[in-house]
Chain A
Amino acid sequence: MANGVMTQTEHIPYLAQKGLKSWILTTDHKRIGILYLVTISFFFMIAGLTALGMRYELMTPELDFFRTATEYNVAFTLHGSLMVFFFIVPGIAASFGNFLIPLMIGARDVAFPRINLLSFWIYLIGTAILLSALAQPADTGWTFYTPYSIQTGTKVIMITLGVFVLGFSSILTGMNFIVTIHKLRAPGMTWSRLPLFIWASYATAILQLLATPVVGITLLLLIAERAFDIGFFDPAKGGDPILFQNFFWFYSHPAVYIMVIPAFGIISEIIPVFARKPIFGYKAIAYSSFAIAIISFFVWLHHMFVSGISETAAAIFSFLTMLVAIPTAIKVFNWTATLYKGSIDFHSSMLYALSFIVLFTVGGLTGVYLGALAVDVHLHDTYFIVAHMHYVMIGGTVMGFFGALHFWYQKWFGKVFNELIAKISWFLIFVGFNVTFFPQFFMGFQGMPRRYATYPEEYISYHVLSTYGSWILGLGILIMTVNLLIPLWKEGRPESSNPYGSLSLEWQVPSPPPHENFDEIPTVTDWTYAYGKK
């Protein structure tokens, strides 16, 4: 596919340099990717443990594990805020985006390596502010809705300030990736040859760059409201609490796609490699990422159907919401068509990709239920929402993230994990996830509201089943983590730098890649997905 690549033996890997300074001052995109990976994984672990605590509480209808209902409120606020702002928004985009974008387009690094490091440090400052808030954390939920977020006695300012600072990291990363993809593509790497992960990262970067400032200013208004009692969101002073929701969701709905579009890109990379077929509908998949990025700005009011908003606006936004289903369905159908008559290898990363298609489809279709006005009135703020959101976020983004970890593990770290254990952990994660969240659709449909520490007896069987599922899910993730960590301390390198026979540029360099990726910039001569033509 390309010239100018290197053999396995003639380079010094980017991981060769040791010492703290080589990490905290690095401008190598691959190392910065690792820094993000480690940090987001840490927050994923903390947020996951919080979720296990919440599920343990819900084993019985009474309050027993947490001492007060406020403690439970703090737990779900912490779980949601950490998962959303500290794990899943920066998640794939910052970790895999950093590692893969320059390698995939044939560049030595991102366009602005120092700004890239600055993004990471700003992210760390944001996390430090958030951690300092944990002494007396907020109990508002991750959405910080007014008027409660203005009235509560818990410390809302610190946690929102942490999220505000994180936004700058997201904006700088988005800007860096846009410029990198425009300016640093190797000769011959035309737009119609770009890997679909790059198209997805580009669409994500647009959202990061253009939507994040809105949530930044919204949170700043909230901070000003709490600190100076100005009245933006207080009706007694001429303000409007729903204004906060409008501003918040104007960012936070596109943010859903900041979380999931990179996972779409990952699935588009894994499926053709393990189906040994060219990706079906390349342009449709590429353009649908942009369609999603554009439409995502037109749907935010569907989060507010029962907030007392205008019925006219609700009807318009219910219709607009349905439009998102079109480009997402285009992707799902094209992945399925790629699998058709393929020579499928059920590698662990492929199992995650296939899980993604199934689970994301469930998440997406239940989203159509919620987009329908009348149905949403019944289901809003119930466990149906919790199940839908987790099918999209875990079934979608996290499955994509785990799939990517297994697919690019050898390339990133130059080590090999145990494939059998990887498959066992995938099985536990897949089963555990469904046992946890599928019953929540039913209890939500029957009226169990979200965000309650206690509940009527009639829901106990669903809750117990869901909690058992969370233990299976937790066990699966623990086994997967151990399986991926152990090889890092063992000697040895993979036998091949391209074990899956991928045609993408990152697989044409050694594992792990050298400091500046390529000894000379490659010239791309063929499509990334020309499987079966070689």
Chain B
Amino acid sequence: MSTHDHTEEHHTGLRVYTAVCLALFVLTAVTVYVAKFDFGDFNIVVAMLIASIKASIVALYFMHLKFEDKLTWIYALYPLFLLFLLIGFTMMETFTRVPVIK
């Protein structure tokens, strides 16, 4: 607990929070702006990339992940691996299906 208080005291002040908040607003504006362009199949990639950056800075600063120990990082990153598994294998299964009716 003392470690937590220590990091909170030194790493997360009003300035950091304000900067993160502004970054989130800017990235939201970017999301709206890029929606005007058609990247074809990459529309979803661009949208998810920006959303992932936003989620990362929320986790790192608002949720203090940046200042946590290795164990917390493992618990934060392992679900991302599982998400990759879920989406990856589901897509692999979907795209390798042979149509029954040709």
Q: How many A-B residue pairs have CB under 8 A?
A: 46
Residues of B within 8 A of A (CB): 71, 75, 78-79, 82, 85-86, 89-90, 92-98, 100
Q: Which of A303-311, A450-458, A513-521 contacts B (4 or more CB under 8 A)?
A: A303-311
Let me know if A247 and B86 touch, CB within 8 A.
yes
Contact of A301 (CB < 8 Å), options: B78, B89, B100: B89
B71 cross-chain contacts in A, Cβ below 8 A: 182
A311 cross-chain contacts in B, Cβ below 8 A: 96, 98
Where chain B touches its partner, the secondary structure class is helix
Contact of B98 (CB < 8 Å), options: A214, A240, A310: A310
Q: What string of 1s and 0s marks CB contacts (under 8 Å) between A235-250 and chain B?
A: 0000010110011001
Complex Cα spacing A89 to B71, Å: 26
Q: How far is the CB of A424 from chain B (nearest CB, A)?
A: 46
Q: How far is the CB of A112 from chain B (nearest CB, A)?
A: 14
Residues of A within 8 A of B (CB): 178, 182, 209-211, 214, 240, 242-243, 246-247, 250, 297-298, 301, 308-313
Let me know if A246 and B97 touch, CB within 8 A.
no
CB contact under 8 A between A214 and B93, given known A308-B100, A310-B98, A311-B98: no
A211 cross-chain contacts in B, Cβ below 8 A: 82
Let me know if B97 and A309 touch, CB within 8 A.
yes
Q: In the complex, which residue of chain B has the Cβ closest to the Cβ of A312?
A: B96
Would you list 23 pairs from A and B whose C-beta atoms are within 8 A, ordered by A residue? A178-B75, A182-B71, A209-B75, A210-B82, A214-B86, A240-B94, A242-B93, A242-B94, A243-B90, A243-B94, A246-B93, A247-B86, A250-B90, A301-B89, A308-B97, A308-B100, A309-B93, A309-B97, A311-B96, A311-B98, A312-B96, A313-B89, A313-B93
Let me know if B86 and A250 touch, CB within 8 A.
yes
Complex Cα spacing A146 to B78, Å: 29
Let me know if A310 and B78 touch, CB within 8 A.
no
Complex Cα spacing A211 to B94, Å: 21
Let me know if B86 and A310 touch, CB within 8 A.
no
A301 cross-chain contacts in B, Cβ below 8 A: 89, 93
Complex Cα spacing A178 to B85, Å: 23
Complex Cα spacing A397 to B59, Å: 38
Let me know if A298 and B93 touch, CB within 8 A.
no
Complex Cα spacing A297 to B92, Å: 15
B97 cross-chain contacts in A, Cβ below 8 A: 308-310
Complex Cα spacing A144 to B85, Å: 23
Complex Cα spacing A243 to B71, Å: 33
Let me know if A246 and B100 touch, CB within 8 A.
no
